[in-house]
């Protein structure tokens, strides 16, 4: 227990003190939320009565994706290429406790991010409608999926490649993840493709659980469950501890 | 129970055989050094004993445990200094020490450890901006923070600063007095000679010599007299004159395999004078570990060609 606590404390501290990482995990989601709520520069879903109803769930999706996938892949990739993971292998920490500490750190950072976005959303006039229980379930499923993708990258790619790839995927999903504009405004084939990726399912689920209410569609549940189970499994199978 | 027991260790990477069936032991309060040239199999051997890799064949026991299978059980009792890195680049020495302090049941006091490895001046500098010597000293501190019974030092003095060299010596002395078993690899003959109780010389995956530093040095050529003179001297006549065997190592470089007594040197010089042969230099030489090493492996120990795998050198450049 003591090694796990020491590791979790350090992971959280590192995650919350790195400038580049904070830009992606908190800075960009906040800028997108404030900017698009005030300017209404992009289309909103026809079901939305206000911009924040759509953009708060959207930017929370972006935040979860940033921590689960971008930060995790880059940080763990660096640890792998610098021999940190190797070095930890012969300490009493052990791999299960290391993984548990990483998950703890991801969840703590997400709570901070979501709290910041919720407060800003409320200031911008957001009135959450829906079911917070579904919000929590969706967020956890999506975190597992994104963290799985992040660890898959961290365990198989070189650290310089990871930085480019993770930020690239972040940018693509920002546009086709139902985050800044509804996927229904995408061309037909791209919309179908977007539904297969993990971001759109989460933004759709959050839109219903804390945006406008209503039921989360089946495709979104299926998508989140498949990514939540599949990505960590593939990551675990392919993870190489030493570069 | 012997602290470290290695029996018929055999390590192959695909077709390539890194270690070809070696056996050795090390006990508590003992410093065992594995010395060897490029690609001799030193790191492969140590990393197998540390539990990082499963040997292709053979049995390894550390404190009675199989390090690969029982690593979680063994980890609290061992301390490891890797050849390179192992610290998160943004982490400061203080953060790293506090983190590792949290891993162990009965860790050393952080302040004392900082004094011991002399890191007071760099406590809040991120790891990536530390000098090579500071990195090595931090890595050494982290290897001993958990009060281990067995310590592994892979090239502890490679690229180290003078302070670090002293810290390594001090730490090893300290550990030995506490009964710790130390397995070390090095390229540096001086360090091996100074610090080891026993040395294993490894070449191309096999042990070519083993013993205390003194045993190894007497086993080789013993004391000798070296001198330089024009090439192609008549050796048999010289041998007769001085009563010891003489060899021409390289053109114009000669070694007399005998103790450098004043009489013998006088005989040598008077013989050369009688033949009117110019003499370059003359010196009494004790055989060093370097000679032993050269005699056994046909290689010199060049610190510039250390056996870092290419990938590690690559990741070094990124910093």
Which tens digit of pLDDT belongs to each residue from B102-150? 999 999 999 999 999 999 999 999 999 999 899 999 999 999 999 999 9
* Residue B309 included in any domain: no
Closest approach of B304 to chain A, Cα-based (Å): 22
Smallest Cβ distance to B90: which of A14, A91, A159?
Answer: A14
- Domain identity same for B21 and B51: yes
Run means of pLDDT, 10 residues per run, chain B, 319 residues: 94 92 95 89 94 94 96 95 89 96 96 93 94 92 96 90 87 94 89 91 90 77 78 89 86 84 86 89 73 73 45 36
Nearest to B106 by CA among B64, B136, B76: B76
Q: Is B308 exposed, middle or buried (0-12, 13-18, 19+ CB in 10 A)?
A: middle
Average pLDDT over residues A7-13: 95
Residue B101, chain A, CB below 8 Å: the answer is: yes
Q: What is the pLDDT of residue B304?
A: 45
Q: Are residues B33 and B182 in the same domain?
A: yes
Cβ contacts of A5 on chain B, cutoff 8 Å: 102
Measured CA distances, B75 to B52, B88, B130 (Å): 11, 20, 27
Higher pLDDT, B286 or A89: A89
pLDDT band per the 50, 70, 90 thresholds, residue A205:
very high
Here the contacts of A26-32 (C-beta below 8 Å, separation 24 or greater) are A26/A63, A26/A112, A26/A113, A26/A116, A28/A62, A28/A66, A29/A59, A29/A60, A29/A62, A29/A63, A29/A66, A29/A113, A29/A117, A30/A59, A30/A116, A30/A117, A30/A120, A32/A58, A32/A59, A32/A62, A32/A174, A32/A179, A32/A180
- Chain B residue closest in CA terms to A77: B88
Name the residue among A14, A90, A160 with its Cβ closest to that of B80.
A90
Selection from A113, A114, A146, A143 nearest residue A22 by Cα: A113
Structure tokens at A111: 């709570």
**Shared domain check, B274 and B128:** no
Domain boundaries, chain A: 2-238
Q: Is the pLDDT of residue A70 over 80?
A: yes
Whether B102 and A5 have beta carbons less than 8 Å apart is answered as yes
Main-chain phi, psi angles of B173, to 5 degrees: -60, -45
Query: What is the model's pLDDT at position B287?
Result: 65
Asked if residue B197 and residue B49 are part of one domain, the reply reads yes
Cβ-Cβ contacts under 8 Å, A92 against chain B = 72, 75-76, 103-105, 146
CA distances from A133 to A18, A111, A115, A177, B300 (A): 31, 15, 16, 22, 70
Lowest average pLDDT, out of A21-35, A119-133, B298-312, goes to B298-312
Q: What are the phi and psi torsion angles at B131 (to 5°)?
A: -75, 165
Question: Is residue B151 within 8 angstroms of chain A, CB to CB?
Answer: no
Chain A residues with CB-CB distance to B309 below 8 A: none
Q: Are residues B73 and B98 in the same domain?
A: yes
What is the reported pLDDT for A150? Answer: 96
| CA-to-CA dists, residue B7 to A144, B60, B203, B292, angstroms | 44, 6, 17, 25
Give Cα separations from B259 to B223, B242, B290, B291 (angstroms): 5, 11, 19, 16
Mutual angle of helices B110-117 and B93-103, in 10-degree steps: 130
Q: Which of B34, B17, B12 is CA-nearest to residue B25?
A: B34
Instruction: For A81, name the nearest residue in chain B, comparing CA atoms only.
Output: B315
DSSP A11-63: HHHHHHS-HHHHIIIIIHHHHHHHHHHHH--S---TT-SSHHHHHHHHHHHHH
Question: Residue B144's pLDDT is what?
Answer: 96
Does some domain include residue B75?
yes
- Other Cβ atoms closer than 10 A to B16: 9
- DSSP state for residue B70 in the 8-state scheme: S
Q: Per the domain annotation, does B304 fall within a domain?
A: no
Confidence (pLDDT) at B193: 86
Question: Which bin fits B254, alpha (ψ -120 to 50), beta or left (φ > 0)?
Answer: beta
Are A90 and B75 in contact (CB < 8 Å)?
Answer: yes
Structural domain includes residue B293:
no
ipTM: 0.87
List CB contacts (< 8 A) between A161 and chain B. none
Q: What pLDDT, on a 0 to 100 scale, did the predictor assign at position B196? A: 94
**B13 CB within 8 Å of a chain A CB:** no
DSSP state letter for B288: -
Closest B-chain CA to A160: B318
In this structure, are residues B74 and B65 in contact, taking their beta carbons and an 8 Å threshold? yes
State mean pLDDT over A46-72: 95
Q: What is the pLDDT of residue B252?
A: 87
Which residues are bridge partners to A16 per DSSP?
none
Alpha carbons A232 and B257: distance in angstroms, whole number: 68
Domain that holds residue B66: 4-218
Of A79, A86, A94, the CB nearest to B88: A79
Instruction: For residues B146 and B106, state if they share a domain.
Output: yes
CA distances in angstroms from A66 to A34, B27, B234, listed in the order given: 18, 51, 81
Mean pLDDT estimate for chain A: 94
B-chain residues near A71 (CB < 8 A): none
How confident is the model at residue B301, as a pLDDT? 62
Query: What was the pLDDT predicted at B71?
Result: 93
Domain count of the fold of chain B: 2
- Provide, rounded to the nearest whole percent, the portion of chain B with pLDDT above 90: 51
Domain harbouring B155, CATH code: 3.40.50.300
What pLDDT does B80 receive? 96
- Pairing type for strands B253-256 and B224-228 reads antiparallel
Model confidence at A69: pLDDT above 90:
yes
Residue B308 lies in a domain: no
Max Cα–Cα distance, chain B, nearest Å: 76
| CA nearest neighbour of B88 among A23, A80, A72 | A80
**Cα–Cα distance, A126 to A122 (Å, whole number):** 5
CB neighbour burial string for A18-54, b if at least 16 within 10 angstroms, e if fewer: beebbebbbebbbebbbebbeeeebebbeebebbbbb
What mean pLDDT is predicted for residues A195-219? 96
- Chain A residues inside the 8 Å CB shell of B155: none
For residue B67, report the phi and psi dihedrals to the nearest 5 degrees.
-65, -30
Domain membership of residue B317 (yes or no) is: no
Looking at B195, B218, B241, the residue that finishes a domain is B218
* Model pLDDT for residues A156-188, shown as the tens digit of each residue: 999 899 999 999 999 999 999 999 999 999 998
Distance from the Cα of A31 to chain B's closest Cα (Å) equals: 27
Between A98 and B221, whose confidence is greater? A98
pLDDT value for B295 = 74
pLDDT at A74 over 60: yes
Of A233, A156, A90, A94, residue with least CA distance to B53: A90
Under DSSP, is residue B19 helix (H, G, I), strand (E, B) or coil?
A: strand
> Based on the domain organization, do B212 and B234 belong to the same domain?
no
Q: Which long-range contacts (CB under 8 A, 24 or more apart) does A49-52 make?
A: A49/A212, A50/A125, A50/A126, A50/A127, A51/A124, A52/A121, A52/A124, A52/A125, A52/A126
Check residue B226 and report its DSSP letter. Answer: E
Residues B181 and B265 reside in one and the same domain: no
pTM of the model: 0.81
Do B204 and B238 have their domain in common? no
- B246-250 β-sheet, strand order: B246-250, B253-256, B224-228, B282-285
Q: Would you state the pLDDT for residue A79?
A: 92
Question: In this structure, are B210 and B269 located in the same domain?
Answer: no
Q: Measured between alpha carbons, how far apart are the two ends of chain B, in Å?
A: 44
B202 inside domain: yes
Whether residue B95 lies within 8 A of chain A, CB to CB, comes out as: yes
Give CA–CA dist B48/B152, Å, rounded.
11
């Amino acid at each position: 227990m003591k090694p796990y606590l020491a590791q979790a404390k350090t992971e959280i501290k590192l995650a919350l003190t790195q400038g580049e990482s904070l830009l992606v995990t908190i800075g960009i989601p906040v800028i997108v939320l404030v900017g698009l709520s005030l300017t209404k520069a992009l289309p909103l879903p026809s079901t939305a009565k206000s911009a924040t109803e759509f953009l708060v769930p959207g930017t929370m999706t972006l935040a979860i994706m940033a921590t689960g996938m971008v930060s995790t892949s880059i940080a763990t990739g660096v640890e792998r290429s610098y021999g940190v993971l190797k070095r930890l292998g012969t300490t009493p920490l052990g791999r299960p406790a290391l993984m548990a500490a990483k998950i703890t750190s991801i969840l703590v950072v997400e709570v901070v991010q979501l709290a910041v976005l919720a407060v800003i959303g409320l200031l911008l006039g957001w009135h959450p409608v829906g079911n917070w229980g579904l919000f929590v379930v969706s967020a956890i499923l999506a975190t597992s999926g994104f963290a799985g993708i992040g660890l898959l990258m961290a365990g198989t790619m070189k650290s310089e490649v990871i930085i480019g790839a993770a930020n690239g995927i972040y940018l693509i999903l920002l546009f086709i993840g139902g985050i800044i504009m509804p996927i229904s405004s995408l061309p037909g084939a791209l919309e179908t493709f977007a539904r297969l990726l993990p971001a759109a399912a989460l933004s759709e689920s959050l839109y219903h659980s804390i945006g406008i209410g209503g039921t989360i569609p089946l495709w979104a549940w299926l998508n989140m469950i498949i990514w939540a189970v599949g990505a960590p499994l593939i990551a675990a199978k392919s993870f190489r501890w030493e570069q | 129970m012997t602290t470290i027991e290695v029996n018929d260790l055999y390590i192959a990477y695909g077709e390539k055989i890194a270690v070809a069936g070696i056996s050795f032991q090390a006990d508590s309060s003992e410093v065992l050094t594995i010395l060897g040239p490029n690609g001799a199999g030193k790191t492969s051997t140590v990393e197998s004993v540390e539990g990082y890799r499963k040997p292709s064949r053979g049995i390894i026991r550390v404190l009675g445990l199989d390090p690969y299978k029982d690593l979680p059980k063994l980890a609290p009792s061992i301390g490891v200094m890797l050849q390179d890195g192992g610290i998160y680049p943004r982490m400061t020495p203080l953060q790293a020490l506090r983190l590792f302090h949290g891993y162990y049941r009965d860790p050393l006091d952080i302040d004392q450890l900082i004094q011991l490895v002399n890191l007071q001046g760099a406590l809040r500098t991120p790891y990536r901006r530390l000098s090579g010597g500071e990195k090595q000293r931090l890595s050494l501190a982290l290897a001993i923070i958990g009060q281990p019974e067995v310590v592994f030092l892979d090239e502890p003095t490679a690229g180290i600063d003078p302070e670090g060299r002293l810290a390594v010596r001090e730490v090893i002395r300290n550990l030995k007095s506490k009964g710790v078993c130390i397995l070390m690899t090095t390229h540096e003959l001086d360090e091996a000679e100074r610090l080891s109780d026993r040395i294993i010389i490894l070449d191309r995956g096999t042990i070519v010599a083993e013993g205390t530093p003194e045993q190894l040095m007497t086993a080789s050529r013993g004391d000798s007299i070296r001198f330089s003179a024009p090439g192609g001297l008549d050796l048999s006549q010289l041998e007769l004159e001085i009563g010891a065997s003489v060899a021409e190592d390289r053109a114009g470089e000669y070694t007399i395999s005998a103790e450098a007594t004043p009489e013998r040197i006088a005989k040598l010089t008077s013989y050369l004078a009688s033949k009117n042969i110019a003499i370059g230099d003359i010196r009494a030489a004790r055989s060093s570990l370097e000679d032993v090493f050269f005699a056994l492996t046909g290689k010199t120990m060049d610190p510039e060609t250390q056996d870092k795998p290419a990938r590690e050198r690559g990741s070094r450049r990124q910093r």
